[in-house]
Structure 1
């Protein structure tokens, strides 16, 4: 038997390939595995978020916000512009012309800067 055939699996190594559909499916599966569930906060955490939000609203202090959106956590630095208790939303002022409403149930954490 020749040395070429004794190399084990290397004989078939050149015939392996990945179709674009396979690559796309692998990427989609990896993205799906990175997704996280929406946060569930208890009463104490909600109260702490409320205190920080009201301080930011009263004194225009910037806060670092982590919130959940479509399976991923997003980060934001802004000031609280409005707290709507009926619709359970907090509106953050990101820049002079841009404000962003976020559902209270989507908030994970809020820290003073």
Structure 2
């Protein structure tokens, strides 16, 4: 099953334990490209949510939409737990699709991850 045309729910963020955006798409690499390049105006562009930290593939778009709506109602802590169950370091999963690593800009996103100190 090719990920390019598969229904998926995903979460992007701007930093470790930062702002989260939950979305749904039938083209995950294409949607990641759009988030990274600021194609969409609005929440993700305003908050710099470009880092893919979680995704889940579904058999149908209907299933994916139901799951997206459910996750959007969750508390932030539950979303953190969902992400950290599969991606405890909040690694940018977009790199697995061939995307270049995001540049880190001091003052724009936190540089601190789990097990590290800020100084």
Using structure 1 for the length normalisation, give the TM-score: 0.27
Computing the radius of gyration over CA atoms, which structure comes out larger, 1 or 2?
1
- Higher relative contact order (CA closer than 8 Å, sequence separation 6+): 2
More strand by share: 1
Using structure 2 for the length normalisation, give the TM-score: 0.26
